[in-house]
Amino acid sequence: MPKYGADGAVIDINLTTVKVHNWDKTIVTIPAYALISDSFRNWRGMSESGGRRIKRSVNIDTTSIHFLSAEEIDQLGQAHLLSPYLVNKQQAISQWNAQRDNQNIQVA
DSSP string, 1-69: -GGGT--EEEEEE-SSEEEEEETTS-EEEEETTHHHHS-----HHHHHHT-----------GGG--PPP
Mean of the pLDDT values across residues 31-56? 73
How many Å separate Cα 17 from the centre of its chain? 33
| Whole-Å CA distances, 10 to 40, 51, 66, 81, 94 | 12, 17, 46, 40, 53
More confident residue, 39 or 75: 75
- 2-49 fold: SH3 type barrels. (2.30.30)
Mean of the pLDDT values across residues 78-102? 92
Q: Domain locations in the chain?
A: 2-49, 66-107
Give the global pTM: 0.41
Cα(83)–Cα(79) distance, integer angstroms: 6
Res 83: pLDDT: 92
Res 47: pLDDT: 60
Res 48: pLDDT: 66
